[in-house]
Structure 1
């Protein structure tokens, strides 16, 4: 059995999901995949269910009743992983903005370099983003700078969504107390790992914007991140960290 699980949330990713699944399974390392689908009306779940018969005991699907936010989808996937024997749990987008080949690099940062959490970082070596308009690059880069300043985390890409966790990190963080469901979810998970003094390593990657399907980004998600970070930092000053005993 594989010790590495890639959690991929989906909502209307029919144009990408089969190709992504096949790309991950073509890697020289044995990954398992859990697709967490939020009742996509375009048939994403049905496409994955067909693939499950082809990749038995490698590919799994968790069907949810409605679109409830990226953070809750990942938390559902993390809980599913923790009920099983996975030691390395990954976050990955379904739209090919994250290169499947980089999964191995994130894994090696944890398995070989001793990191507890590795981040596919767009900004640790300059700005490595392809196909984004300059306004969005500046927004994302500026958001990471802002979060770094407010929280004190020594990370260049605080909003990255391409991550590998060792099991013990997810066991330590009380997933039921994660507050944010959108863009700020990524920040909150890194901040909790930082507060728990886990070793975090940034792995430089090239982020390529989707060429198929539609982006899920909206202004509410950005607002959550901007104001949520201040609230999150304020809570931490009073020792409210929401950790489990492990």
Structure 2
């Protein structure tokens, strides 16, 4: 039984799924993987089901009926993990934008005292490969904007490559999460920070996908720009306590 599980949401990742799983399972640390697939038309979930025969004790699959947002997929996966005995719960993309070799570095950061370890693109300059400049600037200044509005001391607030200790996800209360898109990433970090958890950024290199189609669109950034102000205002009227756990 592993104490660490990597939650990977998928939608039409048939071109990447074999390679990403092989890369995760090739690490020296014995990670488990949970694929949360939103009924991919390209048959990603069917391929994962077949691969479970190869990795019967390491690979798990949850298939949802429809694509209802990245945040809801992660919450589904986090709840699944919290119902089991995992101490370290990761989130990672399936398209190799996050290097599986960095999983160990994030895990080590948590074992050395961090409650949340973030694979950060911006903690040491800008570590992004193959993105067009307009997208780099949009992402970089989105994080700057979030930091300005919320006061959160994190350079890469929109990062999606993260290791959480289970107590963080238990305490946050996943039923209280408002965002369903990429702003979900910001909200979890913000709540963890407000609750006083120790957050560490680990410098990683982000490489844009070479296979498959990106899921990014303008609505993702609209949610972040306008939703963050609402989130900050709500937080002014919320008491953040760590002494009592919320239900997932």
**TM-score, L = length of structure 2:** 0.97
Structure 1 match to 2:87: 87
Distance in 2 (CA, whole Å) between partners of 1:128 and 1:141 is 10
Q: Is the 8 A contact 1:9 1:74 kept in 2?
A: yes
Q: Is the 8 A contact 2:195 2:241 kept in 1?
A: no
Secondary structure of the residue aligned to 2:52 is: helix
Residue deviations 1:105-158, cap 9 Å, x none?
0000001x2000000000000000000000000000000000001111111000
Residue deviations 1:89-115, cap 9 Å, x none?
00000100000000000000001x200
Moved over 4 A (4+): 240-244
Q: Is the 8 A contact 2:89 2:165 kept in 1?
A: yes
Structure 1 match to 2:51: 51
Residue 141 in 1 paired to residue 140 in 2? yes
Q: Is the 8 A contact 1:7 1:33 kept in 2?
A: yes
Say how many residue pairs are matched. Answer: 245
Residue 177 in 1 paired to residue 176 in 2? yes
What aligned pairs does 1:149-160 form with structure 2 within 5 A after superposition? 149-160=148-159
Gaps of 5+ in 1: none
**TM-score, L = length of structure 1:** 0.98
Deviation at 1:244, TM superposition (A): 8.5
Q: Is the 8 A contact 1:82 1:167 kept in 2?
A: yes
Distance in 2 (CA, whole Å) between partners of 1:102 and 1:123 is 15
Structure 2 match to 1:199: 198
Residue deviations 1:4-61, cap 9 Å, x none?
0000000000000110001100111100000000000001001100111110111000
Structure 1 match to 2:75: 75
Distance in 1 (CA, whole Å) between partners of 2:81 and 2:73 is 13
Distance in 2 (CA, whole Å) between partners of 1:146 and 1:162 is 20
Distance in 2 (CA, whole Å) between partners of 1:162 and 1:8 is 10
What aligned pairs does 1:212-223 form with structure 2 within 5 A after superposition? 212-223=211-222
Secondary structure of the residue aligned to 1:74 is: helix
Deviation at 1:245, TM superposition (A): 2.1
Q: Is the 8 A contact 1:174 1:242 kept in 2?
A: no
Gaps of 5+ in 2: none
Distance in 2 (CA, whole Å) between partners of 1:206 and 1:244 is 36
Q: Is the 8 A contact 1:14 1:42 kept in 2?
A: yes
RMSD: 1.1
Secondary structure of the residue aligned to 2:73 is: helix
Residue deviations 1:157-212, cap 9 Å, x none?
00000000000000001101100011100000000000000000000000000000
Structure 2 match to 1:63: 63
